[in-house]
Structure 1
């Protein structure tokens, strides 16, 4: 009997290792996506056209899966369906518009940095999940960090950054809703990516197609192709699948434990790509938010049950 029980810990560790690797790959994609999106919406493409590229690629690549599950998968329900689709076109448009105002170094703390906060708050309010003292302290640090980052924009509305901050926080809330909706949807990561991609493409088609055609006519085919790879394949297919794998194997909170890496990577990439160097207040906010996310994720607490 004991011989049969010995392999169990290793069997449990393997899915966890896969989950952590998937989470690490996800935040790397998030960081590249954040910088690429800000560059695109401030230089080449309007948000609707960029969103059409973002969701057109996964809608095309995953159409066999969409065909099998249909536009309205059985047993999904309207509430969970809307929660899933909120991470598609609505999330992208809100975040892309916010990126037109907020510097790239501030996108990380305000978007992936606050996602665990919204995941935990929704879990607490909607599902009665308990929060330990360490996690509560982490959420407090996240809020202080966000205030350090966004305080200047909130006090001095003339620079417009406060609008970007509010929009990015709205996007983080939409992603928190998606995380819980995905966990209860019964869909695989691939099925969720296919469903989100197809619906978002259909929603954005009448708004993004004219501006995308104009961009191609203006000689921007090169940037469009680059964004199709970064936005469509990496973020639209690989990112959603990897995040789903991480949530499936680690749970929502632990999957968010590595999100501070997206904060650091986005800030580092923004220096050579966009020439944006964070000021001292933003650096303090990034540091506090990073520490807060680590504590709030529950990585130092006991393993989550269920």
Structure 2
């Protein structure tokens, strides 16, 4: 085996990449929370993908051209997938950052496998074991604990932070993407799929971005304070996290790789404490523990669950 081949299959490199991937996802939530006052959410989402496209097109466009017939045949499915992943998920996440904390975003985001399992049961008829159902229930209770901030009156009085509810909608959107990805699989190489998804998703965001720009937010000032976060969003939680995730899945398998996803709220709580002065309340610990136990029960028992194909 050639040295380069041995290096590419090195478990060490896969583990390093999988440790960095949730760090990049956590950074996405923390930096979004810290800059959303300077960059409107829809501007943040739109320009993140424009920058990612500028980086990806030179290497991804040849594949798009080569597989254009496949893309044309599955265009409806590709548009649906791009809508729920690139367009809706990221836009909703950044909208959530306006009124909720980075820690809450990361905790709710960590429940993606729960929503995928639930939607797969509802839409695809996947069988759910009793212990998996218990895991889903515990995780949902954990989400409600975080949203309610440990106070039942918040739920009964409908006083939840809008951002928490928007983040639930974002996770639900990613769940739909994951289920549709299975039901409407598109036979494309990973790089071609990602490039096409970002291109379509950016076009879907465009009219919403223009409406917000012209009628509401007025855009943002181009400066070091705004350009650097956008570069981070495009490169780290976008392109690099996607590449690291797929390399890790190919090297150590999806089941082992999925465990690293649970590091995201851990990283986010540390980063949010350091850079945003966010503190952890008792409800974070209780809700986080319930979510973690629920995830372990729902995703590590029986048939392997869905895995993330694209970055946050």
TM bin, normalised by shorter chain, reads 0.7 to 0.9
Residue matched to 1:116? 113
Check 1:214–1:88 CA distance in 2 against 1; reply closer, same or farther (3 A cut): closer
Give per-residue Cα distances to partners, 1:63-95, cap 9 Å, x unaligned.
132354257714435135412432112212211
5+ unaligned residues in a row in structure 1: which ranges? 1-10
- Structure 2 unaligned spans of 5+: 1-5, 307-312
2:49 and 2:198 in contact (8 A); partners too:
yes
Aligned pairs (5 A) from 1:170-185? 170-183=169-182, 184-185=185-186
The match for 1:5 is none
With 73-82 and 57-66 compared, the bigger mean Cα shift is at 73-82
2:48–2:233 CA contact under 8 A, matched in 1: yes
Could you tell me how far apart the structure 1 residues matched to 2:42 and 2:62 are?
25
Quote the residue 1:6 is aligned against: none
Partner of 2:203: 202
- Native 8 Å contact 1:48 1:208 kept in 2: yes
1:58 to 32, 52, 71: 52
Partner of 2:220: 215
SS of alignment partner, residue 86 of structure 1: helix
Equivalent in the alignment of 1:85: 83
How many Å apart are 1:33 and its aligned residue?
Answer: 0.6
Which residue is equivalent to 2:147?
150
Work out the CA distance in 1 between the residues paired with 2:279 and 2:13.
Answer: 34
Q: Give how far 1:247 is off.
A: 5.8
Which residues in structure 2 correspond to 1:40-59 (within 5 Å)?
40-41=35-36, 43-59=37-53
Q: Give 1:93-104 correspondences, 5 Å limit.
A: 93-104=91-102
Is 2:31 the counterpart of 1:32? no
The aligned counterpart of 1:4 is: none
Change (3 A) 1:136 1:305: closer
Deviations 1:28-65 (A, max 9, x none): 21111111111111x31101211122101111111132
1:284 to 283, 286, 296: 286
Could you state the TM-score of these two structures normalised by the residue count of structure 2? Answer: 0.78
Structure 1 CA distance for aligned equivalents of residues 147 and 113 of structure 2: 18
Query: What is the alpha-carbon distance in structure 2 between the residues aligned to residue 304 and residue 256 of structure 1?
Result: 10
Aligned equivalent of 1:227, options 218, 226, 229: 229
Match of 2:167 in 1: 168
User: Partner of 1:129: helix, strand, or coil?
Assistant: coil
- Secondary structure of 2:85 counterpart: coil
Q: CA deviation at 1:205?
A: 4.0
**Cα separation, partners in 2 of 1:267 and 1:237, compared to 1, 3 Å:** same
Q: In 1, distance between residues paired with 2:275 and 2:170?
A: 23
Distance in 1 between residues matched to 2:294 and 2:16, nearest whole Å: 21
TM-score computed with the length of structure 1 as normaliser: 0.79
- In structure 1, what is the equivalent of residue 137 of structure 2? 140
* Counterpart for residue 3 of structure 1: none
Contact 1:263-1:290 at 8 Å conserved across structures: no
Within 1, Cα distance between the matches of 2:262 and 2:96?
Answer: 20
State which of 74, 78, 82 in structure 2 corresponds to 1:76. Answer: 74
Query: What is the alpha-carbon distance in structure 2 between the residues aligned to residue 27 and residue 135 of structure 1?
Result: 24
The answer to whether the Cα contact below 8 Å between 1:48 and 1:93 also exists between their aligned partners in 2 is yes
